[in-house]
Structure 1
């Protein structure tokens, strides 16, 4: 019970002593102001017969994270129908997003949805090589058996890369994966939002879990 109330406090920024973490929680994670891009994407989905109700707070947070950190090269694992990809690429035309999805039906929808951003997006059915500035990973998406998730993500990262993980509480496997990520010394700052987690690798920060 104490852990629950402590998480509620830190989720709002209370009890956070790091100036960066306090600003990040209050001005990025918990930001409520709408952006014009939100409405543009809602209209775009409607034009493709996808109800805007499929947009969640996770999508809005994805946009805010990209808008805050300014990554140029993004890796998205478990990209589904491409809705989140729209939010990842909306902040700047200079962003490129490599999406990984294995479902042919979802890929087909995503290709139509992202046809106006062909220069910014590519969809693959396996993990690519390369280093990325940001990684967005839906833990519900299964990587090959016996994959060490933390090591795999680190391999695709550099010292200033950040990660956002969704469905961290979906089942025992995703909870275990998220627990290992939080415990790893290489993940310097982690922010637990119950259903999703954010990881900052910057070694300038002390190891802390919020």
Structure 2
């Protein structure tokens, strides 16, 4: 990963070179609608406070968990201990972006959702709360972390979540084979390296339509992730991408006759 200084410099450059988040100068109606109706939607929905209360409790939870490190392959390479609070501070998607994902599901109304990287389940709760009639399949490698996420799903009464534990290399292909419909919405927040990220993209791509939406986390986190993001942007199936620095959003709309990439301040 990039050093904090280098990442900070990249963010400053992004902030001053990105299109403003008000939609001015962004001409395609689809992108303008995304900015005005989704990105800048300031409403506070009913589920926001209960989910954030769970986040606050996690940040105070000093319970130690035994975790597995799957490393580059499909085998467990090592195990280590980490506190729940440490995981909460380092791994949970910030409220700003978790709520954006909620708004995207609320606005675009996908009929199924895939999440690679449950962590402690906060983002999963946002995704599942946006439409409780839509199934959310979420994948988590660490069983101890998955158990805490399950408690949150139960506490919020979210019965539309299926949590799949285990290594993504094994569980993702198996699960995709079992799903009998295309993937409408996917959030990839798992192994932050080039080759795995591209592999997840290509596997999901086999199950998408021109109306599917993919979101990739931490696209500028490292040189590898920037290379993975460049690969995704260049893919022939991709017609439109939106770079919000911390996440990248991918569309496959066939009515988008000319491939376009937007970097928008958020």
Q: TM-score, normalised by structure 1?
A: 0.86
- Cα distance, 1:147 vs. partner? 5.7
Of residues 172, 176, 189, the one that matches 1:138 is 189
- Cα distance, 1:10 vs. partner? 5.0
3-state SS of 2:210 partner: strand
Contact 2:114 2:136 in 1 (8 A): yes
Of residues 25, 30, 48, the one that matches 2:35 is 25
Structure 1 stretches lacking a partner, 5+ long: none
- Cα distance, 1:36 vs. partner? 2.1
Aligned to 2:141: 102
- Cα distance, 1:101 vs. partner? 1.0
User: In structure 2, do the counterparts of structure 1 residues 141 and 4 end up closer, same or farther at CA, with 3 Å as the change threshold?
Assistant: closer
Aligned to 1:122: 162
Contact 2:192 2:225 in 1 (8 A): no
Aligned to 1:58: 97
- Alignment pair present for 1:171 and 2:222: yes
CA RMSD of aligned residues (A): 2.7
User: In structure 2, do the counterparts of structure 1 residues 180 and 139 end up closer, same or farther at CA, with 3 Å as the change threshold?
Assistant: farther
3-state SS of 1:114 partner: helix
Residues in 1 aligned to 2:29 and 2:58: alpha-carbon distance in whole angstroms: 40
Aligned to 1:75: 114
User: In structure 2, do the counterparts of structure 1 residues 12 and 6 end up closer, same or farther at CA, with 3 Å as the change threshold?
Assistant: farther
Structure 2 stretches lacking a partner, 5+ long: 1-9, 60-87
Of residues 150, 166, 175, the one that matches 1:111 is 150
User: In structure 2, do the counterparts of structure 1 residues 101 and 5 end up closer, same or farther at CA, with 3 Å as the change threshold?
Assistant: closer
User: In structure 2, do the counterparts of structure 1 residues 147 and 61 end up closer, same or farther at CA, with 3 Å as the change threshold?
Assistant: closer
Residues in 1 aligned to 2:199 and 2:219: alpha-carbon distance in whole angstroms: 16
3-state SS of 1:190 partner: strand
- Cα distance, 1:162 vs. partner? 0.5
3-state SS of 2:58 partner: coil
- Alignment pair present for 1:8 and 2:48: no
Contact 2:198 2:231 in 1 (8 A): no
* Structure 1 range deviating more: 67-76 or 30-39: 30-39
Aligned to 1:151: 202
After superposition, what is the alpha-carbon deviation per residue over 1:93-146, rounded to whole angstroms, capped at 9, x for unaligned? 211110111012211111111125463111112212133210011154569869
User: In structure 2, do the counterparts of structure 1 residues 133 and 114 end up closer, same or farther at CA, with 3 Å as the change threshold?
Assistant: same
Aligned to 1:93: 132
Q: TM-score, normalised by structure 2?
A: 0.69
Residues in 2 aligned to 1:89 and 1:5: alpha-carbon distance in whole angstroms: 31
- Alignment pair present for 1:184 and 2:223: no
Greater relative CO (CA pairs within 8 A, separation 6+): 2
Aligned to 2:78: none
